A and B are shown apart, each in its own frame.
Chain A
């Protein structure tokens, strides 16, 4: 298995622009998580899905952030409009609903908003 695949690896954008981050979870995993990592706040859970349905989006910072999972093999995290304080590494992770409870993380997208 190729693991959790995220794209792009790096994104530099200007303030006010729309940014879309993409994630392909491991096949068969029915939970998908979006995390944000910064030096100040560490790893923060933004939202997670079960069977493509959003379960908990309480970590989404504000209405500028939205996430979708149109099918079991694809999810997006969108920021519109982007702001410099959104600069961070965004991770997607997935796990199966049964078996051990560990997540598998992707390699992340480093977002820089200038």
Chain B
């Protein structure tokens, strides 16, 4: 069935360093790839998304890249700050409003 693999499951970085989280999807018809940030005790919050007709998208310190041929996409956070500490989820959708979520990455930014 449809599957999204996400790595790593945990990631610790020093404040100011970059963090990269990678996801691989199985459904070649997927065309929408959102990323969510979940802080403790809260629901996931959309932070950035990319559609299949674009290879890269950037929003301040956050960027997402997409490689359709290899069926993988990545989240890049530069100049990390303590408030970036959270669980990050990737997801893939074929535009039917139904997402397949990755298993999550717990990011810890060390001050």
Contacts and interface: CB of A to CB of B under 8 A. Distances in A.
A16 B99 CA distance: 31
Interface residues of B, number: 20
A48 B97 contact: yes
Interface stretch (A60-68, A69-77, A94-102): A94-102
Nearest to B47: A102
Contacts of B49: 100-102
Secondary structure call for the B interface: loop
Contacts, number: 46
Contacts of A106: 43
Contacts of B46: 102-104
Secondary structure call for the A interface: strand
Interface of A: 4, 31, 33, 42-43, 45, 48, 50, 56, 91, 93, 95, 100-108
